[in-house]
Amino acid sequence: MIRTLSFLLLVSSVAVYGQIQSITTTAIYGVGLSKRLNVESASAIGGGVEVTLKLSGSYSIGLQAGYASYSISQTDQLNNWNWNFWNDRYYPKIQSDMRADQNLSAQIGSVQAMDEIPVMLVVHYHAPAGERLGIVPCVGAGLSFFNRKLYADETWTKQFPQTQYTLTYNLRNFAPPKKGNALVLALGCDATYRIGGDVNIIAGAHYRSYLSATSGFEEFPLASGFIIKLGLNFLY
């Protein structure tokens, strides 16, 4: 908590005393590279906003915040969630009910997702590459706040042989979420192209590395990721 408050205080100080250079809005697509906790795949869509403040020379610093919605596939994810209600009570009851009634069957699947909100300070170097084109390498660090979610997708079928009728119904059983934060380090490069007096198109690719922060990192599914972004950059 202390490190989180210190980081937010630093961000606020920079925003107050800096001179706004630009505001950028982007859409992003992300994939997990190095994964943890037996996660097989992770991909995301989302967006972000960055306020950039002028520093000396060709340098600037940006306060960046975003949102990413991840779809995650994890090996045996219902059991790996360590959901006591499911493992100890509910799933054994499902098996018992089907053994007791041959006309009853169930198909059990699961869906896992994660909401991620990264907040970072990013240092940019602006290198002109033409009359309208600019190349902007950058490096950043911050905190990523996450909320992992899982539900069991149950499809039940009950056959009634006497009437030759089959009843099918579906339900979702939601597990307790897993929350926390991670330290995120970022390295990337953007390209800007001037389309108007004060407007640029911006596109970029960024690598992110995730490390243990204040709490909950043991439940974070990624060690690193790759982000592609596309958006508009408004100059001030």
What mean pLDDT do residues 97-123 have?
Answer: 96
Residue 65 identity: A
The pTM of this model reads 0.88
Check residue 5 and give its pLDDT.
Answer: 44
50 domain residue, yes or no: yes
Q: Is the pLDDT of residue 14 over 60?
A: no
Structural domain of 40: 2-87+117-146+181-235
Number of neighbouring beta carbons within 10 Å of residue 215:
13
Counting residues of the chain whose pLDDT is more than 90, the rounded percentage is 87
User: Beta-carbon neighbour count of residue 191 at 10 Å?
Assistant: 15
Per the domain annotation, does 209 fall within a domain?
A: yes
The pLDDT tens digits of the residues spanning 146-156 come to 999 999 999 99
Residue 203 lies in a domain: yes
* Structural tokens at position 132: 């309208």
Of 208, 213, 210, 212, the C-alpha closest to 225 is 208
Over range 91-115, report the average pLDDT: 96
Quote the pLDDT of residue 202: 98
Q: Measured between alpha carbons, how far is residue 167 from residues 32, 59, 103, 153 in Å?
A: 40, 66, 10, 17
What is the domain-level CATH number for residue 28? 2.40.160.20
Q: Which CA distances in Å does 130 have to 127, 192, 196, 198, 200?
A: 9, 10, 15, 16, 13
What is the rounded end-to-end Cα distance, in angstroms, of the chain? 35
In a domain, 37, yes or no: yes
In a domain, 83, yes or no: yes
**pLDDT average, residue stretch 180-205:** 96
Residue 62: inside a domain? yes
Give the pLDDT mean for 127-153: 96
What's the total number of domains in the chain? 1
Q: Where are the alpha helices (DSSP H) in the chain?
A: 2-17, 77-80, 84, 91-100
pLDDT of the residue at 17 = 52
Question: Is 156 within a domain?
Answer: no
55-65: pLDDT as tens digits: 989 999 999 99
pLDDT at 2: 45
